Amino acid sequence: MQQLTHYLNGAHVNGTSGRFADVMNPATGEVQAQVPLASTAEVDKAVELAAAAQPAWAATNPQRRARVLMKFVDLLNRDMDKLAEALSREHGKTLPDAKGDVQRGLEVVEYCIGAPHLLKGEFTDSAGPGIDMYSMRQALGVTAGITPFNFPAMIPMWMFAPAIACGNAFILKPSERDPSVPLMLNELMEEAGLPPGILQVVNGDKEAVDALLHHPVVQSIGFVGSTPIAEYIYSTGCANGKRVQCFGGAKNHMIIMPDADMDQAADALVGAGYGAAGERCMAISVAVPVGDETADRLIEKLVPRIEKLKVGPYTAGNDVDYGPIVTAAAKANIERLVQTGIDQGAELVVDGRNFKLQGYEDGFFVGPHLFDRATPDMDIYQQEIFGPVLTTVRAQTYEEAIGLAMDHEYGNGTAIFTRDGDTARDFANRINIGMVGINVPIPVPLAYHTFGGWKKSVFGDLNQHGPDAFKFYTRTKTVTARWPSGIKEGGEFSIPVME
Q: Does residue 29 have a pLDDT over 80?
A: yes
Alpha-carbon gap, residue 206 to 38, rounded angstroms: 10
Q: Does residue 130 have a pLDDT over 90?
A: no
**488 pLDDT band (50/70/90 cuts)?**
low
Cβ–Cβ < 8 Å for 147, 172: yes
Q: Does residue 499 have a pLDDT over 60?
A: no
Alpha-carbon gap, residue 264 to 275, rounded angstroms: 16
pLDDT value, residue 319: 87
**489 pLDDT band (50/70/90 cuts)?**
low
Percent of the chain having pLDDT more than 70? 97
Q: Sign of torsion, CA 492 494 495 498?
A: negative
**483 pLDDT band (50/70/90 cuts)?**
confident
**20 pLDDT band (50/70/90 cuts)?**
very high
Which CA distances in Å does 177 have to 36, 47, 330, 367?
11, 23, 12, 22
CA dihedral 66, 153, 244, 12 (to 10 degrees): -80
Percent of the chain having pLDDT more than 90? 94
Over residues 398-425, the mean pLDDT reads: 98
Cβ–Cβ < 8 Å for 289, 335: no
Q: Provide the phi-psi class of 373: left if phi over 0, else alpha when psi is between -120 and 50, else beta.
A: left
Alpha-carbon gap, residue 417 to 219, rounded angstroms: 42
Cβ–Cβ < 8 Å for 51, 217: yes
Q: Per residue in 141-174, pLDDT tens?
A: 999 999 999 999 999 999 999 999 999 999 999 9
Q: What are phi and psi of 478, to 5 degrees?
A: -115, 130
In the chain, residues under CATH classification 3.40.309.10 are 252-438
Alpha-carbon gap, residue 18 to 120, rounded angstroms: 46
The overall average pLDDT reported for the chain is 96
Alpha helices in 62-221 (DSSP H): 62-78, 80-91, 95-112, 115-118, 154-165, 180-191, 206-214
More confident residue, 295 or 484: 295
pLDDT value, residue 318: 81
- Active-site residue flag, 166: no
pLDDT value, residue 128: 87
Alpha-carbon gap, residue 45 to 47, rounded angstroms: 5
| DSSP letter string, 134-169 | EEEEEE-SEEEEE--SS-TTHHHHHHHHHHHHTT-E
In the chain, residues under CATH classification 3.40.605.10 are 2-248+457-479
Q: Which of 112, 166, 246, 281 is catalytic?
A: 281
The H or E element spanning position 200 is strand 199-201
Q: Does residue 495 have a pLDDT over 70?
A: no
Alpha-carbon gap, residue 164 to 71, rounded angstroms: 14
Which CA distances in Å does 155 have to 92, 173, 225?
17, 11, 11
Alpha-carbon gap, residue 358 to 356, rounded angstroms: 6
pLDDT value, residue 317: 81
Cβ–Cβ < 8 Å for 260, 289: no
pLDDT value, residue 487: 56
**401 pLDDT band (50/70/90 cuts)?**
very high
Which CA distances in Å does 203 have to 5, 34, 189, 229, 330?
8, 11, 18, 17, 21
Q: Per residue in 382-395, pLDDT tens?
A: 999 999 999 999 99
pLDDT value, residue 498: 57
> In CATH, what is the architecture of 2-248+457-479?
3-Layer(aba) Sandwich (3.40)
**Beta-strand relationship, 284-289 and 252-256:** parallel
- The CA-based angle 236-237-238, given to 5 degrees, is 95
Largest Cα separation within the chain, whole Å, is: 91
Over residues 31-56, the mean pLDDT reads: 98
Over residues 62-80, the mean pLDDT reads: 98
Cβ–Cβ < 8 Å for 201, 42: no
Q: How far is CA 57 from the centre of its chain?
A: 26
- The CA-based angle 205-203-154, given to 5 degrees, is 105
Q: Per residue in 170-219, pLDDT tens?
A: 999 999 999 999 999 999 999 999 999 999 999 999 999 999 999 999 99
Alpha-carbon gap, residue 67 to 100, rounded angstroms: 24
Most confident of 125-134, 253-262, 317-326, 350-359: 253-262
CA dihedral 175, 181, 186, 188 (to 10 degrees): -170
pLDDT value, residue 353: 94
Q: Per residue in 85-101, pLDDT tens?
A: 999 999 999 999 999 99
Q: Sign of torsion, CA 236 158 154 39?
A: negative
Cβ–Cβ < 8 Å for 363, 27: yes
Q: What is the DSSP letter of 395?
A: B
pLDDT value, residue 108: 98
- Third-level CATH fold of 252-438: Aldehyde Dehydrogenase; Chain A, domain 2 (3.40.309)
Q: Per residue in 334-343, pLDDT tens?
A: 999 999 999 9
Which CA distances in Å does 240 have to 51, 122, 217, 456, 477?
18, 31, 11, 22, 22
Alpha-carbon gap, residue 8 to 145, rounded angstroms: 15
Q: Does residue 225 have a pLDDT over 80?
A: yes
Alpha-carbon gap, residue 155 to 189, rounded angstroms: 15
**1 pLDDT band (50/70/90 cuts)?**
confident
pLDDT value, residue 484: 78
pLDDT value, residue 486: 57
Buried b (16+ CB within 10 A) or exposed e, 22-43: ebbbbbbbeeebbbbbbbbebb
Cβ–Cβ < 8 Å for 50, 220: no
Over residues 280-302, the mean pLDDT reads: 97
